[in-house]
Amino acid sequence: MITLNNIHKSYEMGSSKLHVLKGIDLTIDKGEFVSIMGSSGSGKSTLLNILGMLDNYDQGTYHLNGMHIVDMSEKKAAKLRNELVGFVFQSFNLISFKNAMENVALPLYYKGVKRRKRNMLAMEYLDKLGLKEWAHHMPNELSGGQKQRIAIARALISKPQVIFADEPTGALDTSTSYEVMEIMKEINNEGITVILVTHEHDIAAMTQKIIRLKDGQIDQIIRNGDLSEFRYKYSKELQTA
């Protein structure tokens, strides 16, 4: 589903350049549940944003569903994002002056779905995520976990093939984080590819494949079967966390 070949990305920093991704080769199959790890500043968000067509890359090739993703206009990128992908962010990114239902319905507004229909679908997704009673509440009346579930409902409403989540549990306490990860697992069980960024080992250990970034390159890929070893290796850290 996703193939990256020798992807490079730099940011202009005044007169100098910050070379963030230095030749990323990566394949992710349809239906995989993947986490991207690495220290702060290692390029995790940059990579996720390129995968989600929120940002361009400088060199290399990116294929998504067999399409070559290159030099797209913002209009074309927006259309592809609408059709194919859903996003979840650490800070939820809900619109503060819209209620839960309206936030969930928003992607359908951009698809031209009529208000009655999109609100009805939003209620279905809120129900699915156990938030039906909160439909008419504003984001500031909701807990972090509830806000993230609303953001997840919003990501799911346009029936994406892949969900990109950038530190989706980064602003949540441990038990709420695990609830969100359970939801991610269920989403993946329904056949949606899930790619999430995290710097928490226990969160990464819940996925099927861990991609470790270091100094702008892939340092290591740990697959499902090897996760027990990974858990063991970090059990000390987990115990003290």
Specify whether the backbone of 170 is left (phi greater than 0), alpha (psi in -120 to 50) or beta. alpha
b/e sequence 161-170, b meaning 16+ C-beta within 10 Å: bbbbbbbbbb
Phi, then psi, of 42 in degrees rounded to 5: -80, -5
User: Which one of residues 35, 45, 169, 193 is an interface residue with ligand ADP (CB under 6 A)?
Assistant: 45
One symbol per residue from 5 to 44: x for binding ligand ADP (CB under 6 A), - otherwise; what is it?
Answer: ------x------x-x-----------------x-xxxxx
Per CB under 5 A, contacts with Mg ion among 25-54 are 44-45
Q: Which does 42 bind (CB under 5 to 8 A by kind): Mg ion, ligand ADP, none?
A: ligand ADP
Residue showing the smallest CB distance to Mg ion in the complex: 45
Q: Is 158 in the site for Mg ion (CB under 5 A)?
A: no
Q: Which does 43 bind (CB under 5 to 8 A by kind): ligand ADP, Mg ion, none?
A: ligand ADP
- 3-class DSSP state of 80: helix
In angstroms, rounded to a whole number, what is the distance separating the alpha carbons of residues 202 and 13? Answer: 35
**For residues 36 and 184, which CB has a smaller minimum distance to Mg ion in the complex?**
36
In sequence order, the 6+-apart residues with CB closer than 8 A to the CB of 228 are none
Where does this chain bind ligand ADP (CB under 6 A)? Answer: 11, 18, 20, 38, 40-46
